[in-house]
Amino acid sequence: CFLLWLRTLALALAPAPMHNLLLSSAVAAACRSLEGVQNFRPVRSLPGLFRSASLEQATASDAAFLLDSARVRTIVDLRNDDEIARARATATPVGLSLLAAFDSGAAVGASCIASEGSGVLRRFQVPLLGDVDGLLDEVAARLPTAKRMEAALYRTVDMRRHDRLVYDALSQGKQQLLYTSMIASAPPAVWQQALSIAADRRSGNVLIHCARGKDRTGVLAALLQHAVGDAPEKIVEEYALSEVLLGEGGGGGGGGGG
């Protein structure tokens, strides 16, 4: 049933001109501008849950805030392996050290990298776009008839042209096409894994992120907000903050899968 709701949400979000939505002062005040980590903020309806863009560009100040002030103890990374490899190739030394601490399960406690509390740091990778071919197939299946036939022809004779046609359609389709295709192509077990880890804050606060903290992170956060009873208007309002925090305008296309 949650997949059906996500499809409904994707359709509801897509046509909305996000830059025209009015953001309440309370929501805006909950955001914090970090130095190297974009789009960071709490998911206000779920205390202890935060969201952001990737962490590879974190500064020393960012790392200290995440570990000591936000007390993040679990990271849920929604990116694919190739995205992570590219990001880490240009990461800051602090960003690499921070992620290494989570990857290695560094201890939490006095004289440790995270001094408050106990237990260990944890990082889970749950790729919501892990089946890229499946995603492209879902996009192609949702194209208008003429474009769908063109894609089918290219699929048999020229996969590069097929992929370009689909990527162009994905870019033009914005959130609606991206989200409906993403939901359909990711197995329910993947969504359930991401949801269960993000919702379990018994071992400490949790940070969910993808590349830009907007699309994959936004859909997962929206689902969690829906689960605790947030009104659709509130979910859309908080989703729209990504456009503000990322400095975007004009409605925010979703083709990048951030």
What is the per-residue pLDDT for 5?
A: 54
Q: Tell me which residues of the chain have a pLDDT lower than 70.
A: 1-32, 173-175, 249-257
| Residue 66: C-alpha distances to residues 62, 85, 121, 247, 254 (Å) | 6, 22, 12, 22, 27
User: So what's the pLDDT on residue 11?
Assistant: 47
State the pLDDT at residue 19: 37
What's the whole-model pTM score? 0.79
| pLDDT given for residue 124 in this prediction | 97
Class (C level, CATH) for 24-129+188-244: alpha beta
Q: What is the pLDDT of residue 32?
A: 65
Predicted local confidence at residue 3, as pLDDT = 54
**pLDDT given at position 118:** 87
Quote the pLDDT of residue 162. Answer: 81
- pLDDT at position 212 is 94
